[in-house]
Amino acid sequence: MSPGFRGRRGTEGGEVRLPPGQYLTEDFPVLTAGPTLRVPTDTWEFVIVTEAGEKHRWDWQQLMALPSEQPTVDLHCVTKWSKLHTRWQGVSLDVLLEGVDTAADYAMVHSYGGYTTNLPYEDLLHGQAWIVYKFDGEDLTPEHGGPARLLVPHLYLWKSAKWVRGITLMDSDEPGFWESAGYHDYGDPWREQRYQGD
Ligand SMILES: Nc1nc2c(c(=O)[nH]1)N[C@H]1C(S)=C(S)[C@@H](COP(=O)(O)O)O[C@H]1N2
Ligand SMILES: [Mo]
């Protein structure tokens, strides 16, 4: 069967469609390598650094002042659970990258606490990625990465860095935390790219 036949939406004709090897869950598991961080919004900052070293910085108030979106998306974790129709609020990376002069091909996402994950620059654009601060209408809890996390739901959830602190734009690809430990460089759930070599 070609991957296209499985559909790219959570539901199709009322029937639930999942990426290969995934099962449905209703609850929202917490997966963190290390302790849960408490990052106060009064010291929070988000910094984009270009491949030329130019810095673009937002504090919490500036983030809140930006136009936000309310994406409803499906989450797919590499440990095989999927949670459908999750409701978020946050700022699209299209908005944050609008004034950023870059020709980078890759990005490294950095979290408070040192977690990192890499992805192609293009995957941050075109309505595919957000810095989210609300889940289900409530402030995002620390367990799920509050005050703000990256949400990039078309890739396995390890790419959605919790307690996000910044993004470094790069000319060449580099592995992040899980990618260095054998997980796939890209991580497309529909192509079941769990581990390097998949
Ligand atoms: N900073 C940080 N972000 C992270 C992680 C982490 O350990 N640290 N774990 C990743 C993994 S493996 C998954 S599956 C999701 C889990 O998100 P959740 O705990 O909100 O379900 O967060 C991702 N983002
Ligand atoms: Mo994960």
pLDDT at 97: 98
Ordered domains of the chain (ranges, CATH): 31-69+90-184 (3.90.420.10)
Ligand 1 and 181: CB distance under 6 A: no
DSSP 112-148: TTS-EEEEEGGGGSSS--EEEEEETTEEPPGGGTTT-
* Atom in ligand 1 nearest the alpha carbon of residue 28: 21
pLDDT at 23: 97
Q: From the first residue on, what is the mean pLDDT of each consecutive set of 10 residues in the chain (198 residues)? A: 43 72 96 96 98 98 98 98 98 98 98 98 98 98 98 98 98 98 98 97
Helices (H), 32-145: 60-65, 93-97
pLDDT at 57: 98
Q: How far is the CA of 34 from the centre of ligand 1 (A)?
A: 10
Ligand 1 and 157: CB distance under 6 A: yes
pLDDT at 73: 98
pLDDT at 14: 59
Ligand 1 and 162: CB distance under 6 A: yes
What's the pTM value of the predicted model, to 2 decimals? 0.94
Ligand 1 and 31: CB distance under 6 A: yes
